[in-house]
Copies of this chain bind each other. A is one copy, B any other.
Amino acid sequence: MNFDLSEDQQLLKDTFERFLKQTYGFEQRKAACAKPEGWSHDIWREMAEIGLTGLLVPEAHGGFGGGKVEAMVALEALGSALVVEPFLPTAVLCAHLIAKHGTTAIAEEYLPKIVDGSALLALAHMERQAPLDPANVATTAKPSGDGYVLNGEKTLVLHGDSAQALIVSARVAGNQTDRAGIGLFLVDAKASGLKRQAYATQDNGRAAEISLYDVPARALGEAVAKDGLLALEATIDLGMACICVEAVGAMAALHALTVDYLKMRKQFGLPIGAFQVLQHRAADMYIALELARSMAISAMMSTDEPDAHKRHQAIAAAKVQIGRAGMMLGEEATQLHGGIGMTMEYASGHYFKRLTMIDAQWGDADHHLGQLARQGSLLSD
């Protein structure tokens, strides 16, 4: 067993961290968030240049061909810097789906553009009646000519506002909650009949509601056009593992910030970190952080587990641990900072907000705990 990075991975980590240190300080991030789209195209281009956007794209398509460890390295750094650019939907979720399940045409069209930073994509799978159940799909796809037409509504599409194309789950057969008969389709964001309502999220992210009225679409791939649920679930699991790692990056940074603050801030003539109660609270935060880190590693290392049930169990378990740890660290950091932690002028609150949103994304800790409790033992052999 080995928890070390290889030399190459360490190099990558150093590169990402150096890059973010230079381009993504608190004020720089603030400027990015203040842009009309809520993030910075310039930074996105720089992210492409250092290989971030193409990190998970196969080398055959000009990408870095990184795997789970490379993703972990990137996401921890991005979480630590609270990066708001659309890395997850474009460079992880859609890149993964296209590389793994896309037709050659689609792969050749989009993957190089993901690598060079010119393509922005989003995954539209949630519907309002059951946003946490990817098998509950009312949106329909009907064959039409060479392709399909889609009808329906999608909700909470991360970075769906700026995406040039969307990967959309839609039903080709069966009833609304059937596991079979859900296909994955590629839709041009400018297609006629597609409307989107853009909005910001609490953590300075962006999202959109999408409505589809007779929107022309292509099958993402031949197999997943008919039965794409397993591919979609694997992608959601990958996304959950990624935000778990991102959360660990954020938690570690937040914890360090809090410990520094306790050492620096004086009250009653002493650094408040001299008070044993606050030291122990910081120690408990550290324990929560390290346990969360262990589970995030486990989640990421399970993303290529061939047994879908085992994969999902490991990742959902991590989501529970990270959700709880993230809320605990966010709340405790705010309390230990006092007033300054309540303001937008200081970083801790931004970490708190991001961690809160990570818990809410794809189902919070209680949601996954409830589901896991129905699925038998989590104990390994």
A interface residue numbers (CB < 8 A to B): 275-277, 280
**Distance, CA A277 to CA B276, complexed state (A):** 6
Interfacial chain B residues near A280, Cβ < 8 Å? 277
Residue on B with the closest CB to A274?
B276
Interfacial chain B residues near A277, Cβ < 8 Å? 276-277, 280
> What is the total number of copies of this protein in its complex?
2
**Distance, CA A275 to CA B276, complexed state (A):** 7
Contacts A/B (CB < 8 Å), 5 sampled: A275-B276, A276-B276, A276-B277, A277-B277, A277-B280
**Distance, CA A280 to CA B278, complexed state (A):** 11
**Distance, CA A280 to CA B276, complexed state (A):** 10
Q: Nearest Cβ distance between residue A272 and chain B, in whole angstroms?
A: 12
Q: Nearest Cβ distance between residue A281 and chain B, in whole angstroms?
A: 9
Residue on B with the closest CB to A279?
B277
Q: Nearest Cβ distance between residue A204 and chain B, in whole angstroms?
A: 35
Interfacial chain B residues near A276, Cβ < 8 Å? 275-277
**Distance, CA A245 to CA B276, complexed state (A):** 35
**Distance, CA A180 to CA B277, complexed state (A):** 56
**Distance, CA A338 to CA B276, complexed state (A):** 19
**Distance, CA A42 to CA B359, complexed state (A):** 62
**Distance, CA A276 to CA B277, complexed state (A):** 6
Residue on B with the closest CB to A275?
B276
Residue on B with the closest CB to A280?
B277
Q: Nearest Cβ distance between residue A273 and chain B, in whole angstroms?
A: 12
**Distance, CA A275 to CA B278, complexed state (A):** 12
Interfacial chain B residues near A275, Cβ < 8 Å? 276
**Distance, CA A126 to CA B280, complexed state (A):** 45
